[in-house]
Amino acid sequence: MPPLLTSMATSSVFGMLPRFRIKVLAGGFPPFVPKEVEKIKDSHAIALAKRIERVPVKIDSEKSAIMSSCVKPLHQNSKEPVVLLHGFDSSCLEWRYVYPLLEDAGVETWAIDILGWGFSDLETLPPCDVATKRKHLYQLWRSYIKKPMVLVGPSLGAAVAIDFVANYPDAVSKLVFIDASVYAEGAGDMAKLPKFFAYAGVFVLKSLPLRLYATKLAFNKVPKGSLLDWTNVGRLHCRLPWWEDATVDFMIDGGYNVVNLIKQVKQKTLVIWGEDDQIIDKELAIKLCNDLQDSVLHMIPECGHIPHVEKPEKVTELILSFLAREEVTQEQLQKVLN
């Protein structure tokens, strides 16, 4: 099915943030969140950080469970849950603006840290390669979510979602991709580097100057005075002692290469893209929708690579509309015509 391309005007994050507040449980930050969280000023990041929990996920019968970080819904219901992944080397805090909007709309919403990133306890240094990330997500879904989900993958999270749905199609009812990074063929030359050089590269990846540059590049416009704070939110998980080992393990394994899996995806898919993405060309959005079997594309103007941070109200609106839409299938249409 060819993609439906719609360009939508949208409200800015700057004018709407005071209009919602995430539901915060009693107490302060979880003890496992790095102490640098105390320096963060973004009230929505602070609120979501206070909701992060660790739940046991057992991926190997002979080894102990991994205490895995996520934000759980306050209540589960009979409707399909929305499960939010994040991008490369990030955390569930990416969803600090959208999560409360979905929750206020009554959606059972999970924000999950991909194994190797986020705030899970990786002291035992489990493998963080693609296959283990996939198995970990499946076991978390099987243990806690327990029903077909709408899986949302931004940037590299879209590759995580494609890899997952190709192996566990019955676990996913629909997909949402946001500025999807799915055409890169793995980690490239990083996978061929000796470990010493890989660690050196990861050390640079953690550095404040590089993170500041990447944050500025990722958005069409960062609110005045927020660049450093948004950067600190994005690198908070890097403060955990096992972050370097987990990231190097992922890189030398080769990373994600899902190019040959895209056309196998059968689930209805919503593709959201920032028109001003400076990281991934928007032409790839059209290619992706043409490669997918059943997709709809929405471009958001004046928006960069991370629409769920830059334009959270519009992203929430698109997701809610996608969940609610009941489309007539070709089979049902044929019955009506006959």
43 noted as active-site residue? no
Residue pair 103/73 in contact (Cβ under 8 Å)? The answer is yes
* Residue among 183, 265, 275 nearest 221 (CA): 275
Instruction: Identify the DSSP state of 89.
Output: T
CA angle 281-282-285, nearest 5°?
Answer: 115
Contacts of 93 (CB under 8 A, 6+ apart): 45, 48, 49, 233, 234, 236
Q: Please identify which of the residues 155, 163, 179, 298 carries the catalytic annotation.
A: 155
Three-state SS for 198? helix
Q: Which amino acid is at 155?
A: S
44 noted as active-site residue? no
CA distance 167 to 292: 16
Q: Please identify which of the residues 44, 86, 237, 305 carries the catalytic annotation.
A: 305
305 noted as active-site residue? yes
CA distance 179 to 46: 25
CA angle 74-171-324, nearest 5°?
Answer: 65
Which stretches of the chain are DSSP H helices? 13-16, 43-49, 98-104, 130-140, 156-167, 195-206, 208-218, 227-234, 243-253, 283-291, 307-310, 312-324, 330-337
CA distance 93 to 117: 11
Q: Please identify which of the residues 277, 295, 298, 308 carries the catalytic annotation.
A: 277
Residues with catalytic function: 155, 277, 305
